[in-house]
Homo-oligomer: A and B are copies of this chain.
């Protein structure tokens, strides 16, 4: 039997819709509803007019705990788990206040993922997996397996990784890549 391939999945911007949460909290705190389009192509920390707004949000208790789930993520991860070993790999160490919130968020929205398959880290170069689904090129660039760049406002101008725009596209991309490998072996 073929050994199960390992898929590593990022949280912020991939399982969780961080962009929508930024827009919602920004409106709540500063009274201005910014259009999604205003975020396009900007590093997250420079995407809003009020300087330091993002940094303040990510260090506010509750931010990570209340993130909305990305459309289609729950069903897609369940589907991938039928054929792959799925690990959640989040760069949570940058925001130590987020550790427990992220753990509780996963327990609420993805209760079918075992604690054995959760990784909170800093630098993701230490992760050994066959696929990495992430919205940040800094994580994808040094990955040894197949990188998939999850579409996000901040990465619209990055084009050196295969882009997946939705969770449906993730499933298709992995299926096609996997079949490509098997055909090469056969």
Q: Is A94 an interface residue (CB 8 A)?
A: yes
A120 touches B117 (CB 8 A): no
Q: Is A87 an interface residue (CB 8 A)?
A: yes
B118 touches A87 (CB 8 A): no
Binding site secondary structure of chain A:
mixed
Chain B contacts for A115, CB-based, 8 A: 93-94, 96, 122
Q: How large is the interface on A (under 10, 10 to 19, 20 to 34, 35 or more residues)?
A: 20 to 34
Between A100, A119, A129, the greatest number of chain B beta carbons within 10 A of the residue's beta carbon is seen for: A119
A126 touches B128 (CB 8 A): yes
A86-124 residues with Cβ-Cβ distance < 8 A to B are: 87, 89, 92-94, 96, 99-100, 103, 114-123
- Copies of the chain in the assembly: 2
Q: Mark A116-154, 1 if CB is under 8 A from B, else 0.
A: 111111110011110000000000000010000000000
Q: Is A8 an interface residue (CB 8 A)?
A: yes
Q: Is A6 an interface residue (CB 8 A)?
A: yes
* CA–CA, A120 and B119, complex, Å: 6
B99 touches A6 (CB 8 A): no
A117 touches B127 (CB 8 A): no
Q: Which 7 A-B pairs have the closest CB atoms?
A: A128-B128, A116-B122, A93-B115, A99-B99, A116-B123, A119-B121, A120-B120
* Residues of A bordering B, CB below 8 Å: 6, 8, 87, 89, 92-94, 96, 99-100, 103, 114-123, 126-129, 144
Enumerate 14 A-B pairs (CB-CB under 8 Å) in ascending A order: A8-B126, A87-B123, A89-B126, A93-B103, A93-B120, A99-B100, A99-B120, A114-B122, A116-B122, A117-B122, A118-B121, A119-B120, A127-B127, A127-B128
